[in-house]
Structure 1
């Protein structure tokens, strides 16, 4: 019985601090801000690539841009929200 309790304590200890940010009294999870930042950074990259007329060098947009959003969102999370 003590072993089960010890295992449960180990798994529940990850819930001690909720990764959230207070905005005007409401709390939002960190990943929400990371996804928004990933989308905004992808739009900026898209506009730069389009302005340089280098969009033909990219692969299929349906694969490239969602992958870029995921990569940038994870990069923002690693840079800003690692404690």
Structure 2
């Protein structure tokens, strides 16, 4: 019988940290969704909401980089929600 090579254990060592016990997920209708997906949805919704507010208040017309601005606002909201709910 031949001995296994040290390289055959490499995939097992890489998977050693994977565990479902501490996975950041929540149960929704019996299915587990990642928490980052929920934060991303809030970020997108807030970016859309802020765009509506900026258009109504005419701030949107003075913005030069609209796509960058609304993307950055969505990311800021998503990361803030992540930090508040799941942070240290």
With structure 1 as the length reference, what TM-score do the two structures score? 0.75
Structure 1: tracts of 5 or more residues without a match: 1-7
Q: Which residue is equivalent to 1:35?
A: 40
Q: CA RMSD in A?
A: 1.9
Equivalents in 2 of 1:43, 1:18: separation in Å? 29
Between the two structures, name the one with larger relative contact order (CA 8 Å, sep ≥ 6): 1
Kindly report structure 1 stretches of 4+ aligned residues shifted beyond 2 Å: 56-59
Match status 1:22 vs 2:27: yes
Question: After superposition, where does 1:1-83 map in structure 2 within 5 Å?
Answer: 12=17, 15=19, 16-82=21-87
Considering only CA atoms, is the larger Rg found in Structure 1 or Structure 2?
2
Instruction: Tell me the matched-pair count.
Output: 73
Please report how far the alpha carbon of residue 82 of structure 1 lies from its aligned counterpart in structure 2 after TM superposition: 2.5
Structure 2: tracts of 5 or more residues without a match: 1-12
Please report how far the alpha carbon of residue 24 of structure 1 lies from its aligned counterpart in structure 2 after TM superposition: 0.3
Please report how far the alpha carbon of residue 59 of structure 1 lies from its aligned counterpart in structure 2 after TM superposition: 3.4
Equivalents in 1 of 2:35, 2:58: separation in Å? 34
